[in-house]
């Protein structure tokens, strides 16, 4: 519930700067998915990539 209230970010993302959030999201999308794949877990890479693009592409995120 709090996550929804904060426009898609958690409490820690609200306290951090946009640059820190961007780096964390980029790391999670790349290295995080590689680590999940290495452990044999489902990565959901496509869904995460669409969310990432929507969040960081101005035209897409304005809708």
Digit-coded pLDDT (tens) for 42-58 = 999 999 999 999 888 88
Of 53, 56, 32, nearest in space to 43 by CA: 32
State the average pLDDT over residues 20-34.
Answer: 92
Task: Determine the distance from the C-alpha atom of residue 37 to the mean position of all C-alpha atoms in its chain, rounded to a whole number.
Answer: 17
**Whole-prediction pTM:** 0.64
């Amino acid at each position: 519930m709090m996550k929804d209230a904060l426009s898609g970010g958690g409490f820690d993302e609200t306290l951090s700067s946009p640059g820190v959030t961007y780096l964390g999201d980029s790391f999670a999308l790349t290295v995080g998915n590689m680590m999940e794949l290495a452990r044999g877990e489902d990565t959901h890479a496509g869904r995460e990539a669409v969310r990432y693009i929507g969040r960081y592409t101005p035209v897409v995120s304005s809708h």
